[in-house]
Amino acid sequence: KQEVTQIPAALSVPEGENLVLNCSFTDSAIYNLQWFRQDPGKGLTSLLLIQSSQREQTSGRLNASLDKSSGRSTLYIAASQPGDSATYLCAVRRNNAGNMLTFGGGTRLMVKP
């Protein structure tokens, strides 16, 4: 059974800092991995989708990397801003799992002005 872990569960940083959020998964036979952002009381917004054949994806100040063999992905946020404060979740789609995504528990990020 695929298990997805995100550490730390919560993180507080001063504005302007570069930071890394971690996501690890137990079964490396994945099809893709997706990072989401969730604001309090809201739904999930897709940030980046990395296919298993890719090593990284970039969107603006966000960069996500994927190391399938070690079962890890990182989300790098450059020059953090208070508006980045949210919960960040990663989700993994296994090979042959079709429509089943397995989500991590999320990292709650607070960027202080």
Partner 1 sequence: NAGVTQTPKFQVLKTGQSMTLQCAQDMNHNSMYWYRQDPGMGLRLIYYSASEGTTDKGEVPNGYNVSRLNKREFSLRLESAAPSQTSVYFCASKRGSANTGELFFGEGSRLTVL
Q: Based on the shown chain and the rule CB under 8 A, indicate whether residue 11 belongs to the binding site for partner 1.
A: no
Return the residue of 28, 32, 54, 74 that touches partner 1, per CB under 8 A: 32
Going by C-alpha positions, the residue among 57, 55, 77 that lies closest to residue 68 is 55
Count of residues in contact with partner 1, rule CB under 8 A: 24
Q: Which residues of 44-59 are buried (b: 16+ CB within 10 A; e: fewer)?
A: beebbbbebeeeebee
As measured in angstroms, the least distance from the Cβ of 38 to partner 1 is 9
Q: Based on the shown chain and the rule CB under 8 A, indicate whether residue 60 belongs to the binding site for partner 1.
A: no
Residue whose CB is less far from partner 1, 47 or 77: 47
Return the residue of 28, 49, 63, 76 that touches partner 1, per CB under 8 A: 49
Report the Cα–Cα distance between both ends of the chain, in Å, rounded: 41
Distance of CA 39 to the CA centre of its chain: 14
Q: Based on the shown chain and the rule CB under 8 A, indicate whether residue 43 belongs to the binding site for partner 1.
A: yes
